[in-house]
Amino acid sequence: MTQWRKKEKDAPYEEVEIKARLAEELPKWYYEDGWIRRKYKTSGWKSTLMVINTVGHLAEAAFHHPDLAASYAFVIVKLVNHAAKGVTDKDFELARKIEEVICWQPGTDPDSALEGTPDDPRFKYLKYG
C-alpha cells in the first residue's frame, strides 16, 4: 500500500493523486467534477433512509459533511472540502469510514457471534459489491 504524503488537512490533492489513491484505497469510489463519489445500491426506500442516516451520523461526528443524492433504491455520497476548494485528507478519511460502516457484513466473519442479514428478499438491505 502506498504511503500517501501527509498534507495539511486542508491541502487539496491533484486529480491524478486523487484517482490513484481511490484506486488503491477506495476502489468503488470515483472522481468526477471535483468530488469523490460512491453510489450505494439499496433494496428500497427503508434501506435508502438507513444509509442516509448512517452517513449523516458519521459526517456529523467528523464535522465534515457530504452532499447526498437519493432515490428509491440508491444513495450517492459526494465528498469535497468546500473551504479548501478540493479533495483533501478529510474527504478520504470520511469516505473510508463510510465505506467501512455501510459495507460491514458480520455474517461473512466465521468468528462473529452476529449472523448478519439473512439472504432472503424480505430482509435485503444493501446490494453489496
In this predicted model, what pLDDT tens digit does every residue of 23-51 receive, in sequence order? Answer: 999 999 999 999 999 999 999 999 999 99
Whether residue 92 is contained in a domain is answered as yes
d(CA 114, CA 8): 39
CATH number of the structural domain spanning residue 69? 3.30.1360.20
Whether residue 112 is contained in a domain is answered as no
Whether residue 47 is contained in a domain is answered as yes
Whether residue 8 is contained in a domain is answered as no
What mean pLDDT comes out for the span 46-66?
A: 97
Burial grade of 27 (CB within 10 A; 0-12, 13-18, 19 or more):
exposed
**Per-residue cell: 59:** 459526517
Whether residue 4 is contained in a domain is answered as no
Q: Which residue has better confidence, 51 or 112?
A: 51
Q: Which residues form the domain of 80? A: 15-104+118-123
Whether residue 99 is contained in a domain is answered as yes
Indicate the pTM of the whole model: 0.90
Please provide residue 81's backbone torsions phi and psi, each rounded to the nearest 5 degrees: -95, 100
Whether residue 109 is contained in a domain is answered as no
* Total tally of structural domains belonging to the chain: 1
Whether residue 70 is contained in a domain is answered as yes
87 pLDDT above the threshold of 80: yes
- At residue 124, the pLDDT reads 81
Q: How confident is the model at residue 7 (pLDDT cuts 50, 70, 90)?
A: low
Q: How confident is the model at residue 56 (pLDDT cuts 50, 70, 90)?
A: very high
